[in-house]
Amino acid sequence: MSLGARVAIAIMKKDLLLEFRSKEGFLSNLFFCLVVLLLFTFGFDPSSDALRQGRAAIFWIAIAFASVLTLGRTFQRESADQAIEALSLLPLDPGWVFLGKFLSNLLIIVLLMLLIFPLFVVFFDLTVTWRFWLFPVICLLTALGLASVGTLFSAMAESSKLREVALSIMMYPIIIPVLIVAVQLTEQAIKISGDIENWHWLTLLLVFDVIFLTAALVIFDYVLGD
């Protein structure tokens, strides 16, 4: 295995370890996501149809909030002891550092989605059908989009005095297409009759992922270090 790939895997493992072992890591995010998911329901009359119609949107907005928390930590934890400088001094294409960070974010976000989903099924009273197989696919493709844009922006947000706020204001307008597509596809996955339709949404999600993952890999060089 090349040095670059080994570095990327080492960074990914280190970040995953920190996420799962620290108190401010994954568990807090998971809980935060659940709280947001439930909080939204209080904005609706539970006996009306509005909650049923908005449930996919509520799920994805909760995920978007919780993901930004995870993404915000990506480079924050490298600020202690100028670890970020050390990373930028590696005799490698910075794209490998990006790849390591990106993979750890991707795994964490996918896991977050998959763990929140059963709770979503319970609280929003979904009927389990064969269409649910579509859901992991949506999660993976959505997480690819969130993690590619988010990892890049997280490195950028470190230079701003606003930090997490900077990440949010950069990220949300850019990922609007991802959220729209995720909601539309989720509607298809959780409906109780008929075939899955509107496959073109999946194409759009793929296009977003490919464009932004490529752009982030190419451009990351400019945002790491000084």
Partner 1 sequence: MRAFLLALLYPAMLLALYCAFIFAPREKEMGEVQRIFYFHLSAAWLCMLAFLILFVFSIVYLATGERKYDVWASSSAEIGVIFATLVLITGPLWAKPVWNTWWTWDPRLTTFLILWLIYVSYLLLRSNMAESDKKYKISAVFGIIGFIDVPIVFMSIRWWRTIHPVVITSSSMNLDPAMKTALFVALAAFTLFFVVLLDLRVRQQWQDYEISLKSVDL
Q: Which residues of this protein are in contact with partner 1, per CB under 8 A? A: 149, 152, 156, 159-162, 166, 169-170, 172-174, 176-177, 180-181, 184, 200-201, 204, 207-208, 211-212, 215, 219, 222-223, 226
The CA-CA-CA angle for residues 198, 200, 205, to 5°, reads 120
Per-residue DSSP letters for 10-28? HHHHHHHHHHHHSTTSHHH
User: What does the alpha-carbon distance between residue 104 and residue 147 come to, in Å, rounded to a whole number?
Assistant: 9
Shortest gap between Cβ of 43 and partner 1 (angstroms)?
A: 20
Task: Closer to partner 1 by CB, 130 or 199: give it.
Answer: 199
Task: Closer to partner 1 by CB, 38 or 211: give it.
Answer: 211
Task: Closer to partner 1 by CB, 26 or 208: give it.
Answer: 208
User: What does the alpha-carbon distance between residue 65 and residue 70 come to, in Å, rounded to a whole number?
Assistant: 9
User: What does the alpha-carbon distance between residue 42 and residue 37 come to, in Å, rounded to a whole number?
Assistant: 10
In the block, tokens 């909760």 appear at 62
Shortest gap between Cβ of 173 and partner 1 (angstroms)?
A: 4
Shortest gap between Cβ of 223 and partner 1 (angstroms)?
A: 6
Task: Closer to partner 1 by CB, 26 or 212: give it.
Answer: 212
